[in-house]
Structure 1
């Protein structure tokens, strides 16, 4: 049975490391990247079902990277991470194909609910009917 694969992309190393550990404890298959440049090869080699992506990053911001992700694989789901005050970016991200957004600091329970909602969406689509 194929596991739900999650890629965390955020330039805050402590944040992605801690979040990865918290998700791994809950039996999610998680990889991390601290930049879009670092994440790009993982999109091809790891083929995540879900990317949790920070809006504000150096090199390429989250919106630009979201557009690129959707060109590479339109079925990859994206949850945007944002700080208060980024409302216009969140609206743009949703128009560009982001599934959800979460405001930092994140509530892990809220994130788990959104991840499980995503798992159901993938299973209904039938593309990954065996995602657990």
Structure 2
């Protein structure tokens, strides 16, 4: 998989798409046999005007409603495939990958890991599943 269009085609065949624009696709990640979901945003990014990357991100809660020190400490001890950032009013988990030579497992594995981490962190720090 080497282009954004190839990735979007794969995503549309494998996940429930809830929104789509030219450079972004949102899916509802679902766990089998569980009544839980996580909204995942997959966005095309351009580095130095020549390298295409894909960013996987998901909101986990409002920054104003959490102890950021404790949250970041927990993320540091419990996650492997993401970092945290504040975007607008929300804390998000995110991960970026170069599109060139991207193997599908290099996308699907981090997507699942980030979705799981987000779901757990939402429950621990915000008391539920809001995203």
**Fold agreement, TM-score > 0.5:** no
- Bigger Rg, which one: 2
State the TM-score, normalized to the length of structure 2. Answer: 0.43
Which protein has the bigger helix share?
Answer: 1
Which protein has the bigger strand share?
Answer: 2
